[in-house]
Homo-oligomer: A and B are copies of this chain.
Amino acid sequence: MVRQAEVEVQTTGHREVHDLTPTVTAMVRQSGVQCGIAHVFVQGSTGAVALMECERGLKKDLPRLLDGLAPPSPDYAHEQTWHDGNGHSHLQATLLGQAISFPITDGSPLLGTWQQIVLIECDIKPRRRTVIVTAIGE
């Protein structure tokens, strides 16, 4: 049994951390899958998804960490070809990842209390993001 659904998210730009948990939880519950895996994927090469405690402090700390590891800079080879100012955005998205997955048990996500599903906007301007949620199991 497989159920797939899309959700569109409008982001505000670089460093936004958007909580997808309520939306994904509702989709998983509506899927009818009782036991299996849920998969959350963001289309495009400058957005990322991750699992973390979605509280005000970490919503600042995670983008700061990414900006420390792969800082905005005109020195990326990507910049020298494309001049679009988002070489770091690509690298941050690849490093963090563009899909997460977690167990479905008794028809609901099996996540920790402080373990939320977030979309991180790594690009330098607001983007409309397509997130695909797939529930697979029985």
- Number of residues in A with C-beta < 8 Å to the partner? 57
A100 and B96 CA atoms in complex are apart in Å by 12
CB-defined contacts of A69 to chain B, threshold 8 Å: 65, 69
Q: Taking the full assembly, how many copies of this chain does it contain? A: 3
| CB contact between A50 and one of B36, B41, B87, B94 (< 8 Å): that residue | B94
A1 and B62 CA atoms in complex are apart in Å by 37
Chain B's nearest CB lies how many Å from the CB of A66?
9
Say whether A56 faces chain B, with CB atoms less than 8 Å apart. Answer: yes
A55-B78, A95-B95 given; 13 more Cβ-contact pairs under 8 Å: A4-B105, A37-B134, A39-B101, A43-B112, A57-B77, A57-B78, A57-B79, A57-B82, A58-B76, A61-B87, A65-B69, A95-B96, A97-B97
